[in-house]
Structure 1
Amino acid sequence: MAGHKDLLAALLPPVSYDPNAEGVDLSLTVEGAELDRVQAASAAVLGALRPWVWQQYLPDWERVYGLPGACSKGDQLLQERIAQLAVAFLERGGISHAWLKRYAALAGYEITIDEFIPFKAGLSCAGDPLTNDDWNYAFRVNTPADAPRVFKAGQSVAGEALRTWGDSILECIINQRKPAHAVALVAYT
């Protein structure tokens, strides 16, 4: 393949310039080299559209998407940062329980959601929970229980809780994306 110097020389009018003249040759060499450099760099520019392949642009994408967000844990691995960006790419928004389950799945959580249906005489059965008023706006997110994290001498540091349960990242995701009027209860089953 010809370099840009040769292509530029072919564009010169044959009568006006001698492409081998000293000043013209130097100009074509410099301009051709710059065009060669720009063409070589264009792959990196196109790579910026795929931050999971070209990581040098990852901080820019994280800034655009507001990552790491409030639901991120500190000191994330590169793979976790890329996965979180991929979730942000795929997330389109919604307020249904199906969308909330899909979003949790994108973040790596398998959940189910139970709604509390108000008790209505004649429509509800014996044994149905008596849920009225504020319970109309509550729902329960069910997720497999993680083993509690326990303070261990030699492995834990001063200031850590003696025992913790739950998943603060999942709870943050649910509470950030649930409808504003709703109350989300997370149950570890």
Structure 2
Amino acid sequence: MPHADLLAALLPPRSYDAAGPHVAASLTMEGRELDRVQADAAQAVGGLRPFTWQQWIEGYERVYGLPGPCAKAGQLWQERLALLAVALRERGGISLAWLKRYAALAGYEVDISEFRPFRAGHSRPGDALTSGDWLYAFLVVAEAGAYRAFRAGQSVAGEALRTWGDSLLECIVNWRKPAHTVALVAYREA
């Protein structure tokens, strides 16, 4: 049922004549606008799912301050979606396990290890008590030759079929690591 008919049904029966020229014009105009809003409602609700309705990604990037320091010229659509996924799921305190999950959200499987100070029962006599500034460093190890492949639904026309390099991973790790630490990124042979 068109909204103009629904609005006419809401009028008091004796006070207004829905068929009157001025009332009918007003009901028609307002009814058409409500019909249009109802038709567009599915797209508005789609804004709650940015990975399905990707026309909303610019709005999400604005709200989350993306792409942030990891921006680069010619950033792939897939990389933009990865950064948005990371921003949407970001939770809780910073730990090495959290940073590893954070990298996984962006599509990188990494191992993270720390440089440990002297510990009774684990270190040998004669070992240094601290490792100096290495106490504040950690190592992120990723697969060598990591690449991003063009994927239907996640990439757009004009992007390269495959790109190499992990500048996005290094940026994500350095952007989200604790401020007092140093992240070292290394790559192992595949």
- Return the TM-score normalized by structure 1: 0.77
How far apart, CA to CA, are the structure 2 residues paired with 1:127 and 1:102?
37
Q: How many residues align?
A: 171
Q: In 2 relative to 1, CA 123–6 (structure 1 residues): closer, same or farther, beyond 3 Å? A: closer
Q: Distance in 2 between matches of 1:78 and 1:114?
A: 31
Structure 2 residue aligned with 1:9: 8
Identity level (%): 66
Cα distance in 1, alignment partners of residues 84 and 69 from structure 2: 14
Please say if 1:31 is aligned against 2:30.
Answer: yes
Q: Give the drift of 1:166.
A: 6.4
What residue is the counterpart of 2:57 in the other structure?
58
Q: 1:116 to 1:166 in 2, by over 3 A?
A: farther
1:117 aligned partner: 116
| Distance of 2:49 and 2:28 partners within structure 1 | 33
- Amino acid across the alignment from 2:69: A
Q: Is the 8 A contact 1:113 1:140 kept in 2?
A: yes
CA contact (8 A) 1:84 1:107 kept: yes
Please show how residues 167-178 of structure 1 align to structure 2 within 5 Å. Answer: 167-178=166-177
| Contact 2:137/2:183, CA 8 A, preserved across alignment | yes
Counterpart residue identity of residue 77, structure 2: L
CA distance in 2, matches of 1:123, 1:83: 39
Partner of 1:44: 43
Following superposition, the deviation at residue 98 of structure 1 comes to: 0.4
Which residue in 2 is equivalent to 1:98?
A: 97
**Which residue does the alignment assign to 1:187?**
186
Q: Judge conservation of contact 1:166–1:188 (CA < 8 Å) in 2.
A: no
Q: Which runs of 5+ in 1 are unaligned?
A: 148-164
Please give the alpha-carbon distance, in whole angstroms, between the structure 1 residues aligned to 2:29 and 2:139.
Answer: 67
Distance in 2 between residues matched to 1:125 and 1:111, nearest whole Å: 29
